[in-house]
């Protein structure tokens, strides 16, 4: 099964930051998420309901006292004891089958929940890594502008530059500081989201992922993804399970329409003079005139047909999901291919050259600022493209039905 591979990288964090790897994060998510814990209880409930469906119907015991004469004489007194039980044919068996079908449906629903839950948790980690990388980028820009603003203060005092250029560098530094603060807030918010998934928000803002957004997977032919999705997607299993539940319900209702057999045994003791005891036994068969109304039977048949149609619809939805996710991933790959380490390195060289030229007084500050902002925008787009590719890969895995594997060390070192 495919794995998302994040290449280990060093990311600058504050002294109070708590680094967490992808594997550690997912392990804590699986152990501590509150919503996931609640969902797991659904399976326990279904198991208990299956156990409850195996019970037999209870017998009934009745005791009757009668007195039809003068109380003082004690004539005509009697005590009657009766034990009765209703026998049904096939109801218990079909009730157990229906409960078992509902249990299987619950398991399938949980697997479907897990497929989406793991994908959502992974994307949350990717979003945090992206925010962390954008924060590091804004800090680097702020550092450059702080250095220039500091030098410009000295140059202005020495009369080497005009007041306007000194003010320009200070304003640019202020804007960069605000941008950095926004990026820091976004990074902290994504860290809080990681804490939510792990089920512990204490100190969540200090969490910092320690990977990059690079993945080493390439798309296989789309036919492979579609066939795998039709085989592994849990929502298809859910649709099939719902069809089984509808069929089991139809059989259960049919069993309930069968004639029942009520049996009774009893004894009556009369204390008159002379006293005597009467024994009795008998059976009773209800007349099922209600079965002449075929509305419930027709409704069960329609529900079964509807459930089978839902299975075909689920297959169509799965195919559409895979095709869309596949196209999105291919598009995201093409976006990342427009960037290269050499292009980013060349842009950094240009920025450094413009910075030096400005410090030598060869160009105005605005020329340096334009190039610096172009580089910042390029790096931001590159980070967004990397995130888009990684997120698209997760969505392709989600659409295919693969349950992302999370070992203790899923990050390639």
Q: Between 121 and 203, whose confidence is greater?
A: 121
Residue 171: per-residue pLDDT = 92
pLDDT level of residue 134 (50, 70, 90 thresholds): very high
- For tokens 């015991």, name the residue: 61
Average pLDDT, the chain: 78
pLDDT level of residue 185 (50, 70, 90 thresholds): very high
> Both tokens of residue 76?
């005509």
List of residues 6+ apart from 322 with CB closer than 8 A = 222, 225, 226, 229, 396, 399, 400
Q: The whole model's pTM is what?
A: 0.75
- For tokens 């004690």, name the residue: 74
What are the phi and psi torsion angles at 281 (to 5°)? -150, 145
* Predicted confidence (pLDDT) at residue 109 exceeds the cutoff of 70: yes
* Predicted confidence (pLDDT) at residue 74 exceeds the cutoff of 60: no
Whether residue 277 contacts residue 95, with contact meaning beta carbons closer than 8 Å, is answered with: no
Residue 14: per-residue pLDDT = 43
> Both tokens of residue 323?
């095709």
pLDDT level of residue 132 (50, 70, 90 thresholds): very high
* Predicted confidence (pLDDT) at residue 20 exceeds the cutoff of 50: yes
DSSP 40: H
* Predicted confidence (pLDDT) at residue 138 exceeds the cutoff of 90: yes
Q: Which of 321, 335, 332, 331 is nearest to 396 (CA)?
A: 321
* Predicted confidence (pLDDT) at residue 41 exceeds the cutoff of 50: yes
Average pLDDT of span 50-66: 73
Q: Between 93 and 170, whose confidence is greater?
A: 170
* Predicted confidence (pLDDT) at residue 18 exceeds the cutoff of 70: yes
Average pLDDT of span 22-32: 88
Residue 407: per-residue pLDDT = 34
Whether residue 138 contacts residue 278, with contact meaning beta carbons closer than 8 Å, is answered with: no
Q: Between 275 and 131, whose confidence is greater?
A: 131
* Predicted confidence (pLDDT) at residue 237 exceeds the cutoff of 80: no
Give the range among 195-199, 234-238, 348-352, 358-362 with minimum mean pLDDT. 234-238
Q: Between 9 and 166, whose confidence is greater?
A: 166
* Predicted confidence (pLDDT) at residue 126 exceeds the cutoff of 90: yes
Between helix 222-232 and helix 295-337 the angle, nearest 10°, is 140
Residue 362: per-residue pLDDT = 86
Angle 248-252-257 (CA atoms, 0-180°, nearest 5)?
A: 150
Whether residue 258 contacts residue 246, with contact meaning beta carbons closer than 8 Å, is answered with: no
The CA distance from 55 to 195, in Å, is 44
pLDDT level of residue 406 (50, 70, 90 thresholds): very low
DSSP 377: H
334-360 pLDDT, tens per residue? 888 888 777 888 888 888 888 888 888
The CA distance from 363 to 313, in Å, is 65
Residue 258: per-residue pLDDT = 66
Average pLDDT of span 188-202: 90
User: Is the alpha carbon torsion for 97, 103, 104, 105 positive or negative?
Assistant: positive
How far out from the chain centre does Cα 158 lie? 62
268-320 pLDDT, tens per residue? 777 765 676 777 777 766 666 666 666 666 776 777 777 777 778 888 888 89
Q: What percent of the chain has pLDDT over 70?
A: 78
Please report, to the nearest 10 degrees, the dihedral formed by the alpha carbons of residues 348, 353, 359, 362 taken in order.
-140
DSSP 290: G
Domains in the chain, CATH or no CATH each: 18-57+92-258+312-400 (1.20.1600.10)
- Max avg pLDDT among 53-67, 177-191, 265-279: 177-191
The CA distance from 198 to 150, in Å, is 43
> Both tokens of residue 38?
């609640």
Q: Between 327 and 34, whose confidence is greater?
A: 327
Q: What percent of the chain has pLDDT over 90?
A: 16
């Amino acid at each position: 099964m495919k794995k998302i591979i994040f290449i280990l990288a060093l990311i600058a964090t504050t002294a109070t930051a708590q680094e967490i790897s992808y594997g550690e994060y997912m392990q804590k998510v699986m152990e501590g998420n509150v919503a996931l814990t609640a969902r797991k209880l659904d399976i326990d409930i279904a198991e208990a309901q299956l156990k409850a469906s195996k019970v037999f119907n209870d017998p009934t015991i009745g005791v009757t006292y009668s007195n039809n004469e003068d109380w003082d004489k004690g004539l005509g007194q009697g005590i009657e004891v009766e034990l009765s039980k209703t026998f049904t044919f096939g109801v218990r068996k079909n009730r157990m089958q229906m409960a078992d079908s509902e249990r299987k449906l619950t398991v399938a629903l949980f697997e479907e929940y897990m497929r989406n839950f793991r994908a959502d948790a992974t994307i949350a980690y990717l979003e945090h890594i992206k925010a962390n990388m954008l924060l590091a980028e804004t800090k680097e820009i702020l550092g450059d502008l702080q250095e220039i603003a500091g030098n410009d203060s000295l140059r202005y005092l020495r009369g080497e530059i005009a007041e306007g250029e000194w003010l320009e560098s200070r304003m640019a530094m202020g804007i960069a500081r605000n941008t950095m603060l926004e990026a820091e807030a976004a990074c902290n918010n994504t860290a809080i989201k990681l804490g939510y998934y792990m089920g512990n928000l204490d100190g969540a803002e200090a969490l910092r992922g320690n990977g990059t957004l690079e993945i080493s997977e390439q798309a296989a032919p789309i036919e492979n993804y579609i066939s795998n999705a039709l085989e592994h997607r849990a929502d298809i299993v859910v649709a099939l399970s719902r069809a089984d539940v509808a069929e089991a319900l139809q059989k259960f209702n049919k069993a309930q329409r069968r004639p029942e057999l009520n049996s009774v045994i009893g004894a009556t003791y009369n204390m008159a003079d002379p006293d005597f005891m009467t024994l009795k036994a008998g059976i009773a068969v209800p007349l099922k005139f209600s079965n002449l109304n075929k509305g419930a039977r027709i409704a069960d048949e329609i529900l079964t047909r509807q459930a089978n149609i839902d299975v075909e619809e689920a297959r169509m939805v799965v195919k559409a999901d895979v095709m869309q996710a596949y196209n999105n991933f291919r598009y995201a790959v093409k976006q990342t291919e427009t960037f290269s380490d050499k292009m980013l390195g060349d842009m950094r060289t240009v920025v450094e050259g413009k910075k030096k030229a400005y410090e030598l007084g060869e160009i105005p500050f605005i020329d340096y600022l334009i190039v610096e902002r172009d580089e910042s925008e390029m790096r931001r787009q590159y980070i967004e493209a990397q995130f888009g590719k990684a997120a698209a890969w997760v969505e392709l895995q989600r659409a295919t039905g693969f349950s992302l594997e999370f070992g203790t060390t899923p990050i390639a070192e």
